[in-house]
Amino acid sequence: MKGVYVLIVEVGNNIEATIGALGNVKFQKGLYAYVGSAQNSLEKRIARHKSRNKKKFWHIDYLLDSKDARVVNAYYKNAGKEEECQIAKKISETETLIPHFGCSDCNCRTHLFKIKDTSVVLKPGLIEFKE
């Protein structure tokens, strides 16, 4: 399976985490949505995001390395990489941006958002990912 996915990440406390080259970023307790794409092995990518103790490669790996952050849900859509940024832009219309996160290789302002609730990710037509 390939496609675009959104991880719902719960941050259990107010934390500050070092996010690779981004440096220190503060995260308030709450729910976050991270938009990514996997143009092959979507299932493996989502499993990787949920796993602990891995090599850190993406910005999201650094956030998920915190004991206070965990993936609580994942949604996906069978779509090409271009839709990844369209979904990020759509979410940015209503949610709080965490600037420069996960968008090193595109022109988006971010691919991570602090969200009020998960309904925001359902609007672009994503469905829940179940193992």
* Contact pattern for Zn ion over residues 48 through 87, marking x by CB under 5 A: -------------------------------------x--
Among 68, 60, 48, 72, which residue's Cα sits nearest to residue 101? 60
Distance CA 75, CA 114 (A): 16
* Contact pattern for Zn ion over residues 91 through 120, marking x by CB under 5 A: ------------x--x-x------------
Q: 10 or 61: whose CB is closer to Zn ion?
A: 61
Distance CA 31, CA 68 (A): 12
Q: 9 or 88: whose CB is closer to Zn ion?
A: 88
Among 54, 107, 77, which residue's Cα sits nearest to residue 1? 77
The residues that touch Zn ion, with contacts defined as CB under 5 A, are: 85, 103, 106, 108
